[in-house]
Homo-oligomer: A and B are copies of this chain.
Amino acid sequence: MQVYKAPIRDMRFVLAEMNDMADFEPLGFDGFDLELADTVLEESARFCEEVLLPLNASGDAEGCTFENGVVRTPRGFREAYAKFRESGWTSLAADVEHGGQGLPESLGKLVEEMSCSANMSFGLYPGLTRGAYVALKAHGSDELNARFLPKMVSGEWAGTMCLTEAHCGTDLGLLRTRAVPKEDGSHAVSGSKIFISSGEHDLADNIIHLVLARLPDAPKGVKGISLFLVPKLVPMEDGRPGARNGVDCVGLEHKMGMKASATCQMNFNESKGWLVGEPHKGLAAMFAMMNSERLSVGIQGLGVAEIAYQSAVAYARERLQGRALSGVKSPEKPADAIIVHPDVRRNLMRMRAETEGCRALGAWVARALDRLERSKDKAVRQEAEDFCALMTPVVKALFTDLAFENASRGVQVYGGHGYIRDHGVEQFVRDSRIAMIYEGTNGIQALDLVGRKLPAHMGRYLRTFFHPVSAFIEANSADPQIGEMVKGLSRAFGALQLATATIAQRGLRDPEEAGAAASDYLRLFGLVALAYLWARAAKIAHEKMPAANGDASFYRAKLATAQFFYDRVLPETAGLFAAVKSGKASTMALEEAAF
């Protein structure tokens, strides 16, 4: 069964114990405090558990339907979306000036995680609107933004990003969609796009597409791509949606999972669009959306991993098979619950250690997003921007790789019952699989990390991660409680530093060296980041436990899980380091014809 209770206690831990609530003070989030955060988290939990979760399996079974150009979401989605919107979940972290509630991303990302746990397909609809909002806010003209953003923030209108064409996904330089300037300052956009999530659906009154296209005078390749805002319905003077705009859904993809999310083939036929940002600089503008989406996709992974974990735990507690190796645990029953078995626990603990670790890392990055967005101190903003740039590919790829692995672990706990559709846990495997691909495959994330983020400004981005880790190791290596753990962190961190230097040196000489090492390096990087956060979590748990009273079991669990991470997950870094060191030779040696 799909079991989910929002992990509010752990969310409060990453929000207010792993990070400092006082951080928000200088950022001007007026009135935001832990009490408000708690209220929002509890409301969100209730909504996700009561409204979104019951639609998750039914949405998967029913899927979206396509008839005469009309896309229908599964039963219940329209009503749920209307409630979602009315309850203010679309406007949470949006700016007050656009009708948003002006709450921090540190809270917004936790709420996002909940909706992705309860219903990943559903969560993608508002997720893309949020991404489009981010791109427009950064690059749209004031006029365009005044016209479109408030409706997107309120959720009345939805958003998409239209990049991919049949012949190009990763390599956007090949794209063919074109935009011809019109006398009124708008453009006529024509072309075909594929894999457009939420390209057409029945949840919102209008859909605002952000479309990459070429102007007539565009240079070839990626330097000739511009970004356009193309609404499904052109708004009238009074702001209401008006006439159809030559934007048509011509097909719906049949996919492995995410069946309640409409993945559309879209045709643009001289559709009216407006330039967003400067001509030929569309990729940069789109990257504002893409970076926001990449973090969100990481959070999707985290969300699915959490529900997979909870669903596996629930089954492990109730399924009776065999007897505990340490002696019968439930003599009154015909067998013990399988949670007593070490190999089942190994799966559950790994899911738990990785998921909670990712939540802490997501919270760290979200805090930087808030500083980047709101700090009045330029140096603080720069440092936050560097950190977000560095961590975005790590969060996207690491969280989604782990999500797929853990969704599969969850199925394993269920055994044969996990493989049949009735329990709904194989859906997590199918749903989570896309997150490793969309918004840039995880291989592309790894190349972004080693090819762009490491060398940027002579390694300046990297310092935003390396410095706090170094400082923590130095300050805590003799700590009587976590000193042993810090030794393990120090070893893994040393390997990461060496791997970084190796890639930097070899990559300068030969970019294929960096390319061959990229994916293993990203995972090494990600595991070290989780190890750092687990050591910090353990330190906090030790500090708080003596006075924790009723909360002591929470901190005891933190310590146990931290130790598991160090014992059984972190050691993977040794193999990753060796793989990075081995260089490109054997990866590139095979003649192409010999494959």
What is the interface of chain A, defined by CB distance below 8 A to chain B?
A: 164, 167-171, 173-174, 194-195, 253-256, 263, 313, 316-317, 320-322, 325-326, 334-335, 339, 341-349, 352, 404, 408, 411-412, 415-416, 418-422, 426, 429-430, 433-434, 436-438, 441-443, 446-447, 510-512, 515-516, 518-520, 553-554, 556-557, 560-561, 563-564, 566-568, 571-579, 582-595
Q: A256-B426, A345-B587, A567-B587 are in contact. List 5 more A-B contacts (CB 8 A).
A: A173-B335, A263-B420, A326-B512, A352-B590, A571-B578
How many whole Å from A553's CB to the nearest CB in chain B?
A: 6
State whether A563 touches B588 (Cβ < 8 A).
Answer: no
By the criterion CB–CB under 8 Å, are B415 and A560 in contact? no
Q: Which residues of B contact A554 (CB under 8 A)?
A: 594
Query: Across the interface, which residues of B come within 8 angstroms of A572, CB to CB?
Result: 572, 575
Chain A residues touching B, majority SS: helix
CA separation between A437 and B595, bound complex, in Å? 31
Is there an interface contact between A349 and B426, defined as CB atoms closer than 8 Å?
no
Closest to A253 in B: B420
> Would B254 and A421 count as touching, CB distance under 8 A?
yes
**Contact yes or no, B557 A591, CB < 8 A:** yes
Contact of A167 among B320, B325, B341, B437 (CB under 8 A): B320
| B567 contacts A420, C-beta separation under 8 Å | no
Kindly provide the distance from the CB of A513 to the nearest chain B CB, expressed in whole angstroms. Answer: 8
How far does the alpha carbon of A510 sit from the alpha carbon of B342 in the complex, in Å? Answer: 12
Residue of A263, A347, A416, A588 with most chain B CB atoms under a 10 A cut-off: A416
Q: Which of B516, B583, B591 contacts A346 (CB 8 A)?
A: B516
- Residues from chain B with a CB closer than 8 A to the CB of A339 are 592, 595
A323 — nearest CB in chain B belongs to which residue? Answer: B171
- CB pair B595–A352 under 8 Å, yes or no, is yes
Residues in B neighbouring A169, C-beta threshold 8 A: 321, 415-416
- Given the complex, which residues of B lie within 8 Å of A574, measured CB to CB? 571, 574-575, 578
Q: How far is the CA of A313 from the CA of B592 in the complex (A)?
A: 10
Whether the Cβ atoms of A442 and B553 lie closer than 8 Å is no
Chain B proximity of A253: nearest CB distance (Å): 5
Count copies of this chain in the complex.
2
Chain B residues whose CB sits within 8 angstroms of the CB of A578 once the complex forms: 567, 571, 574
Q: Judging by beta carbons under 8 Å apart, are A342 and B571 in contact?
A: no
B591, A556: Cβ atoms under 8 Å? yes
Nearest to A329 among chain B residues (CB) is: B592
Nearest CB in chain B to that of A562: its residue: B586
**Inter-subunit contact A408/B422 (CB<8 Å):** no
Chain B, residue nearest A564 (CB): B586
Q: Which B residue's beta carbon lies closest to that of A340?
A: B592
| Chain B nearest CB, measured from A469 CB (Å) | 20
* Given contact pairs A553-B594, A586-B563, A341 touches B515 in the complex (Cβ within 8 A): yes
CA distance A38 to B1 in the complex (A): 50
Please measure, in the bound complex, the distance between the C-alpha atom of A573 and the C-alpha atom of B578, giving whole angstroms: 11
Question: Is A171 within 8 A of B335, CB to CB?
Answer: yes
Does B586 contact A560, Cβ atoms closer than 8 Å? yes
Using Cβ atoms and an 8 Å threshold, which residues of chain B touch A322?
170-171
- CB-defined A-B contacts under 8 Å, sample of 15: A170-B322, A254-B421, A255-B421, A256-B421, A256-B426, A313-B595, A317-B592, A343-B446, A344-B443, A419-B437, A429-B433, A554-B594, A557-B591, A567-B583, A567-B585
* Complex Cα spacing A316 to B348, Å: 36
Nearest B-chain residue to A584, judged by Cβ: B342
A325 and B515 form a contact (CB under 8 A)? yes
Flag if B563 contacts A416 (CB, 8 Å): no
Residue in B320, B419, B438 whose CB lies within 8 Å of A433: B419
Q: Are B587 and A564 in contact (CB under 8 A)?
A: yes
Known contacts: A426-B256, A434-B419. The answer to whether A590 contacts B441 by CB under 8 A is no
Q: Are B586 and A325 in contact (CB under 8 A)?
A: no
Which 8 interchain pairs have the tightest Cβ spacing? A571-B578, A342-B515, A567-B582, A574-B574, A571-B575, A342-B516, A171-B321, A256-B426
Known: A349-B590, A578-B574. A518 touches B256 (CB 8 A): no
Quick one: given A426-B256, A560-B586, A595-B352, are A325 and B512 in contact (CB under 8 Å)? yes
Of B321, B557, B577, B595, the residue contacting A590 (CB under 8 A) is B557
Q: How far is the CB of A169 from chain B (nearest CB, A)?
A: 6
Residues of chain B with a CB closer than 8 A to A254's CB? 420-422
Q: How far is the CA of A515 from the CA of B342 in the complex (A)?
A: 5
With CB as the reference atom, state the residue of chain B lying closest to A568. B579
Q: Which of B416, B590, B592 contacts A164 (CB 8 A)?
A: B416
Determine the residue in chain B with the shortest Cβ distance to A438.
Answer: B416
